[in-house]
Structure 1
């Protein structure tokens, strides 16, 4: 009786596995796109991510010959929109345009995630990277990481750095810089980045770290002094600002935006969409607009590179959250 039951279970498991394989093969071979494509953006209309995705959507629609509709799903620090994408059919007609936090950080800060980023989403391609700039109040007299380290070691009191939030990526980038330099910096989190910026300009905090669109105008106006940029090399338009890697070899950390599909998307389909995204992003005028309006460098490397990036940053940010004892909600 047990032998018969085992044979029956093995047979039904084989049928289920075969059905799943055929389903993925069918998805991979189905024409794409066969109808409008919906791209979920886990941010509100008019936000930076929304505007950037709409630029891409127009180009993809022209390439695909089908409408590409942006679906704004804000809330939950990006978890609401990413969770909605995770529950969609993996046929490529629902995609996710997400910044890094819902994919590599939120799971370390939230007790109950509505989805598992590693299991429920399929990496398609990294689209663009947005480094952070560390800048100092004018009176601090610091213009490099080496000078910052020397000042911090000689100072009797601790230095403060302002960010837009205690669980924002710029906060963790600032903490990583401090650890790399072997100094102590105290984070002063604000509810919004502009307030962090203004308080540093006013001298109430010593440093501020945020994206290039927010910091660059203040550097050019002489209201802040540049210390470092967190890209691997110097950044276009900010060539006078040292890259952090010049002092801390190998250091690179910043925000980024990626395109993903629901879990179970066939590899061939993910590769096809990644190749189309890379083709769109190769157009010089779009690359220039993303650089000047969003401080973003285009980087379309495909599914494998995105999967490796997510795994790497998920591990490193998890360690940092634990070491800093960041409260989990």
Structure 2
């Protein structure tokens, strides 16, 4: 029996479609087939480590497989990210990372051991951690417009303390100053607690950092809140205005995201993102993340994470150049 050209093409197309369908099922339906290892680009006991361990417990239940955390701190987060980038693309090795190695480090280092845009696949944004800008009480400002007015009338200029010259809070503070049309001088410290203490003591005018560090000082009346960098008012700090209320669309903070090696099949990334969103939807998990890390769940999926990372790379790259931050 002979088969015509159209029949042969139809047969070939059917075989190809069957192969694609079987591949898609292998990529998603049978995942995971064994233990899933999540590389955390920070040390044990850190914020990313705590967050991922809470998430891992939920994912293990959903997947019916162990989900283990593999801490790979060091190198400003690059060591863990590079290890994940070199892994197999079948979803059994993932990366849980803070923002810096994904959107900032490439602007601060002459040679990166990997390309975040090429060598990693965005899976989902997991949670965000906004920054609070607070003032020493004697400064007499409670809002960004008041801060702008105070900065313009100050002969000496105003200072803002951060945990480091290349920290995300520093760049958030610089972006706020640009938006307000004022100049603030950054005073970088080696660690965030020292920046906080010196502002409480009046040695610096302002401090900007995460909510877990600053909130106790606000509650004690040792600092005055000026603005928070989240898009909406923050749970537990509803009295603090957002920067966006003065500077429309302003949003800039820390965040944690789940990624896979570059070239991960899109269907697999979507599957993992959906399962992560399901895990993060648990009210008790959301409460613990907010209470312990000052983090708000934001499971947005691959496309939204990719867009956000691209936008933040551009913003931070511009700030690094304008501020002439030394490149290592």
TM-score under structure 1 normalisation? 0.92
Partner of 1:5: none
In the alignment of these two chains, the number of paired residues is 309
The answer (yes or no) to whether the contact 1:132–1:231 under 8 Å persists in 2 is yes
Matches of 2:23 and 2:76 in 1, distance apart?
Answer: 31
Residues 88-133 of structure 1: per-residue CA shift (max 9 Å, x gap): 0010000000011000000000111000000000000000011000
Partner of 1:130: 129
User: Cα distance 1:156–1:81, how it changes in 2: closer, same or farther (>3 A)?
Assistant: same
Residues 1-51 of structure 1: per-residue CA shift (max 9 Å, x gap): xxxxxxxxxxxxxxxxxxxx9997586257210110000001111111111
Matches of 2:145 and 2:114 in 1, distance apart?
Answer: 42
The answer (yes or no) to whether the contact 2:124–2:302 under 8 Å persists in 1 is yes
Matches of 1:220 and 1:29 in 2, distance apart?
Answer: 47
User: Cα distance 1:100–1:22, how it changes in 2: closer, same or farther (>3 A)?
Assistant: same
Q: Are residue 119 (structure 1) and residue 115 (structure 2) matched?
A: no
The answer (yes or no) to whether the contact 2:28–2:271 under 8 Å persists in 1 is no
Partner of 1:284: 283
Partner of 1:146: 145
Matches of 1:89 and 1:279 in 2, distance apart?
Answer: 25
Matches of 2:122 and 2:44 in 1, distance apart?
Answer: 24
Matches of 1:297 and 1:47 in 2, distance apart?
Answer: 17
The answer (yes or no) to whether the contact 1:24–1:266 under 8 Å persists in 2 is no
Alpha-carbon offset, residue 232 of structure 1: 1.2
TM-score under structure 2 normalisation? 0.92
- Secondary structure of the 2:32 match is coil
Partner of 2:326: 327
Runs of 4+ with deviation above 3 angstroms: 21-27
User: Cα distance 1:142–1:96, how it changes in 2: closer, same or farther (>3 A)?
Assistant: same
Structure 2, unpaired ranges of 5+ = 1-19
User: Cα distance 1:291–1:118, how it changes in 2: closer, same or farther (>3 A)?
Assistant: same
Matches of 1:271 and 1:159 in 2, distance apart?
Answer: 46
Matches of 1:293 and 1:325 in 2, distance apart?
Answer: 35
1:148-187 to structure 2, matched below 5 A, reads 148-187=147-186
1:68-107 to structure 2, matched below 5 A, reads 68-107=67-106
Residues 142-181 of structure 1: per-residue CA shift (max 9 Å, x gap): 1110110000001111100000000000000000000000
Matches of 1:272 and 1:319 in 2, distance apart?
Answer: 34
Partner of 1:9: none
Matches of 2:87 and 2:26 in 1, distance apart?
Answer: 13
Structure 1, unpaired ranges of 5+ = 1-20
Matches of 2:95 and 2:207 in 1, distance apart?
Answer: 30
Partner of 1:244: 243
The answer (yes or no) to whether the contact 2:24–2:267 under 8 Å persists in 1 is no
